[in-house]
Amino acid sequence: MPLKIQIAETDQQIDACYPVMQELRDHLKKETFVTRVRYQQSSGYLLAFLKDDGIVAAVSGFRIGENLAWGRFLYIDDLVTAQRYRSHGYGSRLLAWLKDYAKQQQCDQLHLDSGLQRVDAHRFYLREGLPKTSFHFSTTI
């Protein structure tokens, strides 16, 4: 069965993405995952997934936006490949798919933030042609 990337549309497809997403977002609970994704979808969130032999191997949550700084852009909220599928090129394939999707949506740029502790992810992003271009600052309120 060939690799397939698609956008999760059904509750079943969203739920199938949970085990992979949970590797990145370990605070998420299975019983509320579909509801949370559905809520975010109401403001433009999309969840893409890559299947290998019928099993979800990589996922990406993203959205299309527009602002004065970047123009029209695709912002990647989440991008993760399941541990057992890493180093198989699936992250690269999913990122290439996201870039193509951004072009189809007439986006000028693609953006993502990555936690400072995710050194392996940073090497991946740099290798994939995404240079570090800014610092992200935040605080709780």
What CATH number did the domain enclosing 58 receive? 3.40.630.30
pTM of the model: 0.91
User: 44 with 27: CB under 8 angstroms?
Assistant: no
Q: Tell me, yes or no, whether 30 lies in a domain.
A: yes
Other Cβ atoms less than 10 A from the Cβ of 52: the count is: 17
Sign of the Cα torsion 90, 16, 7, 62 reads negative
Q: Is 139 inside a domain boundary?
A: no
In a domain, 133, yes or no: no
Query: So what's the pLDDT on residue 72?
Result: 97
Residue 140: inside a domain, yes or no? no
Residues 37-75 pLDDT 10s:
999 999 999 999 999 989 999 999 999 999 999 999 999
- Predicted confidence at residue 122, as pLDDT, reads 86
Residues spanned by the domain of 107: 4-127
Q: Which residue bears the tokens 């090497």?
A: 123
Establish if 81 belongs to a structural domain. yes
Is residue 132 one of the residues assigned to a domain?
no
pLDDT tens-place string over residues 79-138: 999 999 999 999 999 999 999 999 999 999 999 988 878 878 888 888 888 888 988 888
Number of separate domains in the chain: 1
Task: Report if residue 58 sits inside a domain.
Answer: yes
